[in-house]
Chains A and B, each alone.
Chain A
Amino acid sequence: MNTNMLGAINNAMDLCMQENSDMVLLGEDIGKDGGVFRVTDGLFDKYGAERVIDTPLAESGIVGTAIGMALAGMHPVPELQFASFMYLSFSQLVNHAARYRERTRSAMSLPMIIRTPVSGGVRTLEHHSESPEAFFAHPGGIIVVEPSTPYDAKGLFIAAAHLNDPVLFLEPTKLYRLFKQEVPDAMYEVPIGKASVLKEGDDITIITYGTMASIVSDVVEKKKVSAHVIDLCTINPLDEKTIIEGAKKTGRVLVVHEAPTSFGVGAEVSARIAEKAMYELDAPIMRVASPSFPYPFPGYEQYYLPNGNRIGSAIDKLLSM
């Protein structure tokens, strides 16, 4: 099928719900309305109100209830309407989703997929454009994935649905409808914990994910640089092997993400490269990310988000060193 990311996720959920009668979706406006972005469109009609559950407006309750469902042998897929609304369920995610397997020494586990739209660039109101991946990758115990293509979105969702762990599934809002791609109709998995190499190259290694992946690809193409571009796909656990190999290959590393620069995923990636490949680098590791403060109102987002210019000049700087 030729589909955008939104259609790919919808299709993945449909296939997984067909396969597993214990999979249910729950969230705000996901039923008749099909979700505010229409990601669950059509699933209410197909699977009914018992499996596509419009909940009261309570994010901690949504995640907490989903945890209970998972403990009782179901495979819930809670949707948090926007990433920053997810902060209301932070305690459930970090105190329980991240720890339940550990606190019971695997006597209990939480098969669940927490879905939420992330990142900006679509001129929405305050609190609709957050990139929260680092918060949830930090404690450990929660798998964090973020696809940047329709193909990866479908494959990662299906892999998550076959896993006996809590998976935070981050869906870049801007990519929902940005482009279409040929995607297999059948089920397939994109392995969790594996980064994908978007482009092979020799002069510079660019490590990115989410909204920035397509921007990086555009810049690299326009500038005609020989870049080795890695899309992390899974934030936690990190595919350290692919990162280190990529860093060693070119000796010049740029990490690009939309989330704020300080204490972000870029810091973690850079630290691992510094620990394991420092002496094979020809230049300091650089980061291009949003400035270190919360996401602005939509009028200012064009000045906040990393763009092709910033990425391009970082590439120039690294190549000149």
Chain B
Amino acid sequence: MLKAIYSGSIDYMQIMDENGTLDSGLVPKGLTDQMLVEMYKKMSFARALDAKTLSLQRQGRAVTYAPLVGEEAVQIGSASAMRQGDIFVPSFRQHGVYLTRGLPLEKFFIYWRGFEEGGAIPKEVNGLPVIVPVGTQVPHSAGIAYAQKYKKTGAAVIVYVGDGGTSEGDFYEAINFAGVFKLPLVVIIENNQWAISVPRSRQSAAETLAQKGIAAGIKCVQVDGNDVIAMYRATSDAINYSATGPTLIEAVTYRMSMHTTSDDPTKYRPDADVEAWKAKDPIARLMKYLVGKGLWTDSMESKMQDEQLKLIDEAVEKAEQFKPDPRSMFENVYSFMPETLKSEEDEAIAAGFWQG
């Protein structure tokens, strides 16, 4: 006997096209124009924050930085759909998620100045610190989701991973756990087409990354990641479904800039590719819609930009006042201070090793 015992398909969701025209039947109920204006402001804010950090890095005032430009809709759309108690687990490029969830901006800049104090995420932000090793954060999100289910908090966990990250074993292990234990987990693949210099086509022969969820027995969908409304809708749907089980969302977007400030993308990708994606810009798209509906004007734009730049400058100033204390390195390794570590610290202090 030979018969088909499984067949799957992946839906692609786009609600707002490149011209800012809506597929009105798909617009989620409860998404108001005011909410869209807010999302527009946050996306613009994220882009301004990104530009500032990049410039600080070029001046030697920030460490190696991973820009988000082009990926604002993935981050702001999904983070805007989170409820107060939902918990997010970022990778290293999700600055827009932190912004939307209310991370104090000076923390952001302290982190990107290279100090762990910036990783002390305040409780009310309900998120984890930046995680650098690719894909390794996904199992953490599964464990946090297990705890929500065990403690019956009703919260969902939203984790971000890149297209490259989906090739890591940890990604598969985590979505597999999530499926087996029906965890309240939303996995967002921020597919920006590039893992440093390696294109999406080199990560997997699979037609979509969303379909990786099929093997784990979980719900999966592909979304236009430059469409903030679709991102909001897909994340909301997944959060609403989270009491039943996990969802995998592949957000198709594009890394408009370098991987990090230590990378030169002109070496491996043609400018024409980047140009083609400019037409799909997530912020311009939403702006077209808002202007078309009379919800946004030039004067609102310039007022917003002034306000955001002021907030950013104030945060940078505060962050630059932060003075590192080398003792903090020693005092945060364990919940107690072992004698051997204490003697290393004492020796450094007594000998004045940290002066000049």
Query: Which of the candidate stretches B13-21, B47-55, B140-148, B270-278 sits at the interface with the other chain?
Result: B140-148
B-side interface residues toward A, CB under 8 Å?
87, 116-117, 119-123, 128-129, 133, 136, 138-148, 150-151, 169-170, 173-174, 176-177, 180-181, 328-329, 332-335, 338-341, 343
Give chain A residues whose Cβ lies under 8 Å from the Cβ of B181. 53
Query: Which residues of chain A from 160 to 206 have a CB within 8 Å of any chain B CB?
Result: 163-165, 193
Bound CA–CA A60/B128 (angstroms): 19
Q: List 15 A-B contacts (CB under 8 A).
A: A56-B176, A61-B173, A64-B142, A64-B174, A67-B139, A68-B145, A74-B150, A74-B151, A96-B140, A101-B335, A102-B329, A103-B129, A104-B119, A106-B332, A107-B120
B332 touches A67 (CB 8 A): no
Cβ of A71 within 8 Å of any chain B Cβ, yes or no, is: yes
Give chain B residues whose Cβ lies under 8 Å from the Cβ of A65. 139-140, 142-143, 146, 174, 177
Bound CA–CA A96/B140 (angstroms): 10
A55 touches B146 (CB 8 A): no
Query: Which of the candidate stretches A7-15, A235-243, A256-264, A302-310 sits at the interface with the other chain?
Result: A235-243
B133 touches A71 (CB 8 A): no
Give chain B residues whose Cβ lies under 8 Å from the Cβ of A105. 116-117, 119-120, 328, 332
| Distance (whole angstroms) from the CB of B164 to the closest CB of chain A | 15
B139 touches A237 (CB 8 A): no
B177 touches A58 (CB 8 A): yes
B333 touches A101 (CB 8 A): yes
- Most chain B beta-carbon contacts within 10 A, residue among A74, A76, A91, A103: A103
Q: Is the interface of B mostly helix, strand, loop or mixed?
A: helix
Other A-B contacts than A58-B176, A141-B334, 10 sampled, CB-CB below 8 A, are: A55-B180, A61-B174, A65-B139, A66-B143, A68-B141, A69-B147, A104-B121, A104-B129, A105-B328, A106-B335
A64 touches B143 (CB 8 A): yes
A164 touches B335 (CB 8 A): yes
A64 touches B173 (CB 8 A): yes
Give chain B residues whose Cβ lies under 8 Å from the Cβ of A294. none
Query: Which residues of chain A from 96 to 151 have a CB within 8 Å of any chain B CB?
Result: 96, 101-109, 140-141, 143
Q: Which residue of A lies closest to B342 (CB)?
A: A237
| Distance (whole angstroms) from the CB of B158 to the closest CB of chain A | 13
Indicate which residue in B87, B150, B176 contacts A50 across the interface (CB closer than 8 Å): B150
Q: How many residues of A contact B (CB 8 A)?
A: 46
Bound CA–CA A95/B150 (angstroms): 26
Indicate which residue in A22, A68, A102, A140 contacts B142 across the interface (CB closer than 8 Å): A68
Q: Which residue of A lies closest to B149 (CB)?
A: A50
A165 touches B334 (CB 8 A): yes
Q: Which residue of B lies closest to A65 (CB)?
A: B143
Contact A68-B144, Cβ < 8 Å, known A56-B180, A104-B119, A104-B129: yes
- Most chain A beta-carbon contacts within 10 A, residue among B129, B180, B338: B338
Bound CA–CA A241/B335 (angstroms): 20
Bound CA–CA A101/B120 (angstroms): 9
Contact A165-B335, Cβ < 8 Å, known A55-B177, A58-B173, A60-B170: yes
Contact A71-B176, Cβ < 8 Å, known A61-B170, A65-B139, A141-B334: no
Cβ of A220 within 8 Å of any chain B Cβ, yes or no, is: no
Give chain B residues whose Cβ lies under 8 Å from the Cβ of A163. 335
Bound CA–CA A272/B343 (angstroms): 12
Indicate which residue in A53, A60, A69, A237 contacts B340 across the interface (CB closer than 8 Å): A237
Give chain B residues whose Cβ lies under 8 Å from the Cβ of A103. 116, 119, 129
Cβ of A253 within 8 Å of any chain B Cβ, yes or no, is: no
